[in-house]
Amino acid sequence: MAEVKYIFVTGGVTSSLGKGIISSSVAKLLQARGYSVTIQKLDPYINVDPGTLNPYEHGECFVTIDGAETDLDLGHYERFLNVHTTQANNVTTGRIYQSVINKERRGDYLGKTVQVIPHITDEIKRCIKLVGSDGKYDIVITEIGGTVGDIESLPYIESVRQLRWELGPKNCIVIHLTLVPYLSASGELKTKPTQHSVKMLLEEGIQPDILVLRTEKDLTTDIRKKVALFCNVEEDAVVESVDVSTIYEVPIRMHDQKLDSTILRKLNLSSDNEPNLNKWKDFLLKLKNPKHEVNIALVGKYVELPDAYKSIAESFIHAGAANEASVNLTYIHSEEINESNYSEILKPFDGILVAPGFGSRGIEGKVLTAGYARVNNIPFLGICLGMQCAVIEFARNVINLEGAHSTEINPKAKHPVIDLMEEQKSVIDKGGTMRLGGYKCEIAKNSLAYTAYGNAEITERHRHRYEFNNQYLNEFINAGMIPTGINPQSNLVEIVEIPAHKWFVGVQFHPEYSSTVMRPHPLFVEFVKACISDN
């Protein structure tokens, strides 16, 4: 078996340069050349996982099929590569320390002082190698979160230094992403921050092999030469990443500069096969040449930070392209929606999505929104809490169950139509204790879900504690809200629909986590289709 090759992606100068997109684009190009690739993210924060973080902190929490709550970059990896990630693909400092401390308590280091070097760095290296250990991958790309020079990323950089030394430069390369700012007053692109950032990496023992420079303007040959000279990298290893209209364009731009061939050469791998990007380019063509336009409202409470709904926004991009439609997504704060303004606010839209969420803030706005979509026959997709709000609204206004609510919001609700799962009642810890990851769901024929999936058995990812309360099932069926998806083991309701409505679907799971460029999620595709025929 050939040795696994490692690519590390570090960032310098500022955060938010898009390391996740560069990592995903490189991975896509290598995959399109026939290599099997996975991407891992190392996050320097001390939370064990991002599951307990408010979305305002780091954006959306992405959930893998094996039930890990992870960084949103894993969503990009899956959307670009169309390959599942797992728990092993996201490691945090919290997880590293937890595991080292557990070993210490077990007595594994008996007699020794436990230190950052070698114990923490050994554990980091173990986690890096773990993803590539089952022989499934030719190449493992590891993105190091944070910015070079941060105190908390030091142990990660040190681990990369050690691995590079252990594995050799033909098996392990470093791509460093930096910023080349444009000073409009002097009309110049400036390379000094890049030089400083590489110097800092050198101080920590790492000579980057490739530099990717984020820039607003194209780099001249002179600038590339200058950066190459001052940073000890070959000229063809200085690559620019100019702002583009869609992130899905980035692999094409990187290939135009032969970044994939440069990487393969450095890793001593064959670059004989040109990447097959036909399907990817077809997608881009459709994305850029829409024949239709739809306006969809996303009603949620984290709308100030669009990253909080990253996977939903990307799912609409995939589903839009599949329908040759441009989807204009408008984020609406559910706290701003009330009895007196909801129809005014929601009137302009061809479709409405009520977003997932936790807690009581903004809940009545979401309930009103679901009611507006139901009464006015507007295509509606409710995800997780969004589905629960649609159920609450239907209970209150169609079945006339006064005071119907979720016990998450009102533990003493007269009609707890959404209630805590039995196995959740004794759970005290907040971290990693929800119903998480992939669960099977059986779909009823003659349903919108069946039309979408074309399949009676699906698996979808979950992240919630509360459920449709089956004690009310018959009342809902008799009044016209039908459970069209059921978990075969637990009998939990996973999908509800209103057959009398044009297109009304609520799902307890999160379809947005599994939409990819190559496999747009069928529910989003059908939802957008319903919105197009509505306008």
The residues of the shown chain that bind ligand GLN, judged by CB under 6 A, are 356-358, 384-385, 408, 463-466
Smallest separation, CB 427 to ligand GLN (Å): 12
Residue number, 123 or 419, with CB nearest to ligand GLN: 419
Tell me whether residue 123 is exposed, middle or buried, using C-beta atoms within 10 angstroms of its C-beta: 0 to 12, 13 to 18, 19 or more: buried
Handedness of CA 38, 43, 47, 48 (dihedral sign): positive
Closest distance to ligand GLN from the beta carbon of 383 (Å): 7
Minimum gap (Å) between residue 409 Cβ and ligand GLN: 9
90-92 and 37-43 strand pairing: parallel
Comparing CA positions, the residue from 180, 197, 198 lying closest to residue 189 is 180
**Which run of H or E residues covers position 320?**
helix 310-322
Question: Pairing between strand 90-92 and 5-11?
Answer: unpaired
Please identify, using beta-carbon distances, which residue of 329 and 385 lies nearer to ligand GLN: 385
Shortest gap between Cβ of 357 and ligand GLN (angstroms)?
Answer: 5
**Spatial contact of 213 and 240, defined as CB atoms under 8 Å apart:** yes
Least gap, CB of 54 to ligand GLN (angstroms): 13
Q: Cβ 511 to ligand GLN, closest distance in Å?
A: 12
Q: Which is closer to ligand GLN, CB of 167 or CB of 473?
A: 473
CB 462 to ligand GLN: min, Å: 8
The residue (of 240 and 408) whose beta carbon lies closer to ligand GLN is 408
Cβ atoms of residues 435 and 487 within 8 Å = no
Q: Which of residues 18 and 55 has its CB atom nearest to ligand GLN in the complex?
A: 55
Q: Which of 76, 119, 318, 510 is catalytic?
A: 510
DSSP H/E element including 262: helix 259-266
Give the DSSP letter of residue 152: G
Cβ contact 309:298 at 8 Å:
yes
Catalytic residue among 494, 512, 521, 526: 512
Angle, alpha carbons 377-382-385 (nearest 5°): 140
Q: Is residue 384 annotated as part of the catalytic site, yes or no?
A: yes
Contact 12, 145 (CB under 8 A): no
Among residues 267, 251, 33, 2, which one has the least CA distance to residue 137?
2
DSSP at 356:
P
Amino acid at position 376, single letter: N
Residue 241 CB, nearest approach to ligand GLN (Å) = 33
Q: How far apart are the first and last CA of the chain?
A: 56
The residue assigned the tokens 């590339």 is 224
Q: Are the CB atoms for 74 and 311 separated by under 8 Å?
A: no
Catalytic option among 384, 389, 441, 531: 384
Integer Cα distance of 129 and 140 in angstroms: 9
- For 477-529, give the secondary structure using H, E and C: HHHCCEEEEECCCCCCEEEEECCCCCCEEEECCCHHHHCCCCCCCHHHHHHHH
Rank residues 200 and 421 by Cβ distance to ligand GLN and give the closer one: 421
Half-sphere exposure of residue 515, counting CA atoms within 13 Å on the CB side?
23
As annotated, the active-site residues are: 384, 510, 512
